[in-house]
Structure 1
Amino acid sequence: MAIGVQEADVWAAADTLLQAGEQPTIERVRLQLGRGSPNTVGPHLKAWFRGLSGRLNATGQAEVAGPAPDSVTQAAQQFWTLALAAAKEEWQQAIAIERQALTNAQEILAADQRVLALEQERLSQRETDLKATIYSLREQAAALRDRAETLEKQCQQSDARATSLEARLTEVTERERALQERQHEAEQQHRQALAAAEQRHASHERRWLNDLDVQRQATRKAQDDLEQHRKTATTSQAAHQDALARAADELRDAHDELAQARHESLNTERTIAQLEQAQDALQTQLAMAQTSAAAVHDSLKERVADLNLRLAEQSDQLQVKDQQIAAQAQVLAQTQALAQQQVGHATSSTPKAKRVPER
């Protein structure tokens, strides 16, 4: 069974890198070990850095009898300075990366907000256009209903005119029938008078001729009156029939226009219903887009807050690292001072050569 990277392994690899003159970093330690993840190596390496000053101090105190040469001390100081500078640069790069990520997240949030604003404006404009279209169609429907009512009134008027014309035609027909009856009665009277005149022909020839003349004139006048009435009735009947035909045509046209208007009104009402359904769907889409945009906005705000928190943690860690570096530099200075004191003490404790007395 494979065993994970332990603290002792990380510390040993860091010591090896330090002895080789390289700065111990997470990647270098991982390369040195040949395994381990950054999340595992990182905490162990931080612990190694925290204990480095104590180890150096303990090493300095343990080697009192043998002070380090100046070249070693200078090399260690130079290496330590480079290590501190590299560590600080690494932390600054990490902070720069976090700040860049925060800037990118803020830019993404601003872009999403602009896209959301444009989408809301587009949906609002579309809703306004739909409302205007619905209002226009409702006005058209109202106009069509008014037109249909007008056509119905015209149809009723045409029906009334047709009824009146039919009544007048009936009246003319009755008058013609009455004239025909009067003509028939006049002919009967003429025949009766002619028969009576023939009976009285022998004794009353002169009177008969006069009466016959009177009767013929009366008959001719009755025939002329009848013919005139017949012509008048024919002309009036033809006029009434023409008027009735025109009224029937007008009534048929009015019925056709009414049917067309009703059909257009039905289509308009269907279009209005479809547009209202589209408006409801658009309002639903707008609500969903606003909800989605709010969720994205909240997610981005949480991400920005998380990045700000991470940046603050990185800043705190950098401050702690700076304090550790300062403490380690102080320990190094103390170690160097102790080494110099040990060198001076060793020099002063060396026995001097005895002087030869003069003779």
Structure 2
Amino acid sequence: MATGITESDVWTAADALLLEGARPTIERVRQKIGRGSPNTVSPHLETWFRALGARIKDPRAFAAPPEVPDPIAQAAAHFWDAALAAARAEQAQAYQERRDALEREAERHQALDEQLQQREAQLINRERDLQEGLKVATAQLAATEERLQAAEAQLRQRDKALAVAQESLADARSANKALLADADLARDRHTQALAALDARHAAHERRWLNELDTERSAVKRLQSRLEALQAASQQQADQSREALAEAQQQQRAAEQDAQLVRAQALADARQRDIESAVAAQTLQAVQSREADLMRRLAASTAQSDELLSQLKARDAQFGDLARRLLASQEAAPASTDKPPASSSPAP
């Protein structure tokens, strides 16, 4: 800091350097004084150079003072020092005030510079924001134009698709009419086939039931005959046992009669065995025939049920197709009541 350096200090140092034969410079004067800043020394050194010519013309400017008595010299030195101190203090105060004013001015200029820099930064940011906004607006405008062109293209395509759809709708109406006619014919054929199938199934069922009743009657007759044969066999067995008992009692007396009776009994037993085997075979055949008739009846019933379910499913399909065709016919006029403004009305 250069606080306290006065013009007199700078001039004294410059005079001393000049008397020593050195050129006074700011750095040499600062070294000679031992303190001070270049900004403080520079203006005082310039005033010293400006006054140097006039001082050179005065022969007493750099001459040594004349001999004076010590008391006078001391008093003069004391007054000189006092005056010099007062002048230095006054000059220092002036310089300090000037320096404070300059510092305040510098602070004010610095604040103004900061404000200007902030304002400039704000203007730059504002300009950048405006440029970015302009770019965004330009991009949005271009995108809007592209969307508008795409919408126009889609509208044209939609008009074409609407015309094609109207032609397809007309074709579909014709096809629907044909399908409805075919469905009516198929329904009539289906009804007739179903009636014929029901009649045929009823006839088969009656015939199979009649055959089953006939077979059952035959089985009952065979069972009755078998029971009669079994009763006769039982009766013959009882008679044989009685005859055998009588023959045992008369064994000694009628040996030949007993042998004849045993032979006849054996023959009757064989006959009964043969008749039992025939009756069992007949019953088995009748039961097999009855089981076969039942299987055939069940298979025919299942086939009839399957055919009936197929016919019902087909009838349901035809009914669903007819409902969809009717729904499409009802929806078609509703869709053509309010055609788009850019397209022609439906034919």
When normalised by structure 2's length, the TM-score is: 0.45
Report which of the two structures shows the higher radius of gyration computed on alpha carbons.
2
When normalised by structure 1's length, the TM-score is: 0.44
Greater relative contact order (Cα < 8 A, sep 6+):
1
